[in-house]
Chains A and B, each alone.
Chain A
C-alpha cells in the first residue's frame, strides 16, 4: 500500500465516497468521476447469477492475462448454485490488493495500473496487480559503464528495479518502504535499506523530507533530489555540490545499502538516489572493487588529480601568465610568450572563449541526433581548435589547457559531480583573472570551508577528512585490499563492531 503524502490526500479527498454495492452503478460512477476518459476499459459481465465488472486502463495491462486470470474463472463459477458474491474474489487467479471501500482508493489503484473488479452485492472492490505490461528490458547502463562487472542497469519500471536489488541482496533484513509524491503524477517512491544497518536518523530524515514534499510533478529522481536535498533548501541553495549519490547500477546501490545507506528509487526513473553521501565517494566507482586493489587505488588517485585539473588548470594558467610570469621556467615562458605574440585578447578572455566554445560543443554533442555526431567532432576538433589557432584568435597553449581540462572533467565517475567542477571552474577563472594565485587561494579556502560545512541528510559531507577518521581512510583516497578488515564496509556513521569481515582462505 503506497503511503500518500498530505497534499496528494488533499487532491484525492473529493473522491472519498463509499461504494453502493451495485456493480453497474459503481462503474458508471467511477467513469463519471474520471470524466468519461476514453482510455478506461470497462468489461461488464451482468448476465450471470452474480454480475461483475472489470475496469482497467487501456494498454497498461495485458488483456489476455486479464481474460485468463479474472474473466474466465469468474464466469466459470457463475454456474455453481449456492455461491456468495464475496466468494467470487477468491476465484481471481492473481495477486489482489484491497479491498477498497471508497472510490478514492479505487481511483488511486486504477491509476497505478491495477485491474479493478466490482462484484454485484459487495460494497467493496478488489484490485489485481501484476498484470502490468512490461516496459523496457533490463539493459546495460548507458552512462556508468564498467569493463569488469555486471552489465545490468536500472530501468524505468520501479518493480523491475526493486527486483534487481532483491536479486542481489538476499538479506532478510532488506526493507522497502513505499511513499509517493507529486499531486499530479502521484509518483511512487521506494526507500530501500537494511533494517539492522541503516542509520535510523537518516531514515527518519529522508522519510520526513519526502513526506513534506509539496509539488505537482515528479518525473525523475533529479526532481525529487532537488526537493529533498540540502541544496533545495533555502539556506543552501548556492551550494554547487550535490549531496546525493546518483547511480543507475544495481550493484552499486546494493553495495551502498549493504554499507548502511538508504536508497531512494523513483518510479519512472532509471537513476537511483543514495543517501547519505560523502565527498570522497565521488571518486569511487563500482569497478574499484572488481579490479585489483592496487590498480583501483592508482585509478582513484588519477581521478582525484583529474578533478583538481578540471577545477584549477585554466585558472592557474591565467594567473601564472598574467600575474606571476616569474614562476614559469624561462624557456617555457619564452615559448608561451612566443605563442601569445599577436593574440588580440587577454589570457582570461582567450581562456573564457575556448571554455565557452567547448561547453557549447559538449551540449551540442549531448542533444544532437546520433547520425550527426561525427560531423560535430570534425567541426569541433579541426575547425574550432586548429583553425582558431591558425587564425590567431587563441594561442596553442590555451587549446591544450582547455582540452586537458575537458577530458579531465569526464574522468569523474559521477556526472552530477563533474558539473559542479564545471561551474566552479568559471568562478575560479574570474578570481584568477582579477587577483592571480592570491584569488585562486581565497576561493579555494572558501570552497574548503563550504565543503566542511555541508551535510548530506544530517551527516558530515566531508567525512572522513573532516571530522578526520583514519580508520575510514581504508576506503577513501585509496582502496585497501578486501581482506584488510572491514573494508569496504567502513563508513563514518556505521558502528565498527567487526561483524563484517572479508577473508579469503
Chain B
C-alpha cells in the first residue's frame, strides 16, 4: 500500500511540476484575431490573408489605468500572402510581436474574386483542421470588394468593428430578418451534401471614396459597410447574388426567418409597412403527375407600423384587404427567389433537402437530374398573416 502511494505521488507531482508551464500564454502575449479576410492575388497562385487583431487598450472603453488614452486604434489590420493560409500565417509571425489567437474570431470575410475564381473549398481544410478555430463564426462575401478593404474599415458606434459586423446579423438582424446566423460550417455542410449549394451573407462597403480610414468617425453613412443580399454558390464557386427581395424569399424558404418588416406593401392609395413576428414556416413536398409539388406555408402575426393608404382600418373588410396585400407581398418575395434560381441552372433554394426528406425513394431516382425536375415543379402558397395591432391609432393621420 505504501509503495503504491509513493508510486502515485512520484507519478503525479512530476507531471504537474515538470510540465514547466508548457502551452502557457499570458493575455498580453496574445494577439486576439477578431476577423480574417481571404483574397485572391491577381495573376498569381497566392492568396492574401488579412488579419484584424484587437488592440485591447484601444478597444476596451473601461480601462482605468493611468496615462492610458482612448486615442489608440481599437483594431489593427495587416495582410500577408502565401500559397497556403499557413504560409500567410507563418509570415504574420514576422509582423506581430504576439501569438495570433484564433478562438475569438467573429467572422471571416471572403473577397468576391476569390469566391468566384478560386473557390471557398480551399479554406475549409485549414479551418476544419486548426484546433483554435471555431466553426460557428459568421462568413461573409465582400460584394464587389476585397476582403482586405472591408477589414480596413473602421466602424461607428462600436469600438470593435468585428463585433459591429456580427451584431448586424445577430442583434439588428438586418433587412433579411434572419434569426440564426449563417456560419462557415453551414456553407461547408451545404458544400459536402448532394445537390445543396452554399449560401453566404454578402457585405458591401459603403464608405465614400474620399473618407480616410483612421479618421475619427463623424458620419455613419459615409464610413461603413452594410449587409447586402446573399451570395449564391455553385459547389464552391460564387455564381450570382440574390437581390434583397430574393434573399428575403430564400430566408423564408429555409425557415430561418425571425422577425421581419414588410415595408413596401402596396395598397389603395399608398404603401403600408408591417412588422411581422412569430413567423412559422413549413414546406411540404409531394409528387403529382411525375412532377414535384411544394406546398409552402407561412403563418404569422404582425402589427402595422406605417400606412399611407386610404383604407379604413376600423373596417374589418379593409383590414382583410391589408392582410391580403401583406401576404401577397411575401408570396412575391418567395416567387422571385424561385424565378431567380430557375435562371441559374442549379437549385440554390434548399428545397432539394425538403424533397429528399419527404420522398427519399423518389430522390434517389431524381437526384442526378434534379434541376430538370425542379424546373417543372409546382408551388402552392399558403400564406396567412394576421394583423392584430395597428399601433397607437387606427387610420392614417391625414384622413381626419
Contacts and interface: CB of A to CB of B under 8 A. Distances in A.
B331 to A, nearest CB: 40
Contacts, number: 99
A13 interface: no
Given A321-B26, A326-B103, A338 B59 contact: yes
Interface string A384-401: 000001101000100000
B104 A390 contact: no
A335 B21 CA distance: 24
A436 B19 CA distance: 11
Nearest to A332: B60
Interface in A284-336: 321-323, 325-326, 330-331, 333-336
Interface string B1-25: 0000000000010011101110111
B23 A323 contact: yes
Contacts of A467: none
Nearest to B102: A326
A334 B28 contact: no
Interface of B: 12, 15-17, 19-21, 23-28, 30, 32, 34, 54, 56-57, 59-60, 62-66, 68, 101, 103-104, 106, 132, 134, 160, 163
A258 interface: no
A434 B30 contact: no
A9 B117 CA distance: 100
A434 B15 CA distance: 9
A396 B65 CA distance: 9
A335 B24 contact: no
Interface in A99-144: none
A338 B25 contact: no
Contact of B26 (A322, A339, A439, A446): A322
Contacts of B15: 435
Given A330-B163, A390-B66, A442-B12, A337 B23 contact: no
B interface: dominant SS: loop
B56 A341 contact: yes
A335 B63 contact: yes
B222 to A, nearest CB: 27
A479 to B, nearest CB: 38
A341 B57 contact: yes
B65 A325 contact: no
30 contacts: A321-B26, A322-B26, A325-B25, A325-B101, A325-B103, A325-B104, A326-B103, A326-B134, A330-B32, A330-B34, A330-B104, A333-B27, A334-B60, A334-B160, A337-B32, A338-B59, A338-B60, A338-B63, A339-B65, A340-B26, A340-B27, A341-B65, A347-B27, A390-B65, A431-B16, A433-B21, A434-B17, A434-B19, A434-B20, A435-B16
A382 interface: no
A343 interface: yes
Contacts of A321: 26-27
Contacts of B66: 390
A346 interface: yes
Q: Across the A-B interface, give the 9 residue pairs with the lowest CB-CB distance, nearest first.
A: A326-B103, A338-B60, A338-B56, A337-B56, A337-B27, A340-B27, A330-B104, A338-B63, A340-B28
